[in-house]
Structure 1
Amino acid sequence: MSAPVAFRYSAQAQSNYKPPLIANDNAFLGDVFTSEAENPEKPMCAGFYRLEKGTPLVYTYTYDEMKIILEGEFEIADTTGQKVTAKPGDVFYFPKGATITFTTPSYGLGWFTGQRKEGGA
């Protein structure tokens, strides 16, 4: 019989966690949790992505990711011509290889889960 495994918890993370700047002067992303220690062959990461008004972020995914919009608004477009105005409660799947452009008229905050190692975005 294997030993019990504890869950992890981040209290009020949507309000308290501030993701670090990752691109331009307005794109922030931070991993809150990773499964890398428990599952190094198929790790997952989850955290927050925040974009503020300014430079669009163009990102090509090297892993699969899912995202739910929590606050604000995003304009999300891909290279196929698909474009969506994303609002709180909207859920997205970005497959490996997709190139996505994120913009916002003010700001947007999303929660993501990606099949990658910590810091691999």
Structure 2
Amino acid sequence: MPVDYASKIQQYKVPNLPEAGANVFFGDVLGNKSLTGSWFLLEGPSDSTPPKYPYDESGILIEGELSIKDETGKKINLQPGDTFFVHNGSEITFSTPKFALAYKTSNRPVSKL
């Protein structure tokens, strides 16, 4: 199997995800029918619209500050280098005071949001 590659410039070309909010940007970078890697950019101050996750997702905060709040009210504050895991069926709100850039992987097909 070949190796796929995406250059760093891809993190600066993250498209807006209007259904999640005007300050939410999300784009698939690499993947196949069962695993996808995506850039996630949140401009602040803002909160994302909480989706119900139909898949598991893991991520790492690359730059900025990111807060994650689940449906139980549990809130975590992430700094660059911190990782997170969202369980299938969770309802998550992402927020940031200024901006956050994360790389996320999920067990879903590419562009199947």
> Normalising to structure 2: TM-score of the pair?
0.90
Counterparts in 2 of 1:43-54, with a 5 A limit? 43-54=34-45
1:14 Cα shift? 6.0
Confirm or deny: 8 A CA contact 2:45 2:99 kept in the other structure: no
> Normalising to structure 1: TM-score of the pair?
0.84
1:106 Cα shift? 0.1
Q: Distance in 1 between matches of 2:96 and 2:39?
A: 16
Identity over aligned residues, as a percent?
35
Unaligned runs of 5+ in 1: 37-42
Confirm or deny: 8 A CA contact 2:67 2:96 kept in the other structure: yes
1:95 matched to 2:92? The reply is no
Q: Distance in 2 between matches of 1:48 and 1:91?
A: 14
Q: What is the count of residue pairs matched by the alignment?
A: 110
Partner of residue 75, structure 1: 67
Runs of 4+ in 1 over 4 A off after TM superposition: none
1:87 Cα shift? 0.9
Confirm or deny: 8 A CA contact 2:46 2:96 kept in the other structure: no
Q: Distance in 2 between matches of 1:30 and 1:9?
A: 15
RMSD, aligned CA: 1.4
- Name the larger-Rg structure: 1
Amino acid of the structure 2 residue aligned with 1:10: A
1:13 Cα shift? 4.2
Amino acid of the structure 1 residue aligned with 2:37: A
Unaligned runs of 5+ in 2: none
Partner of residue 39, structure 1: none
Q: Distance in 2 between matches of 1:105 and 1:32?
A: 26
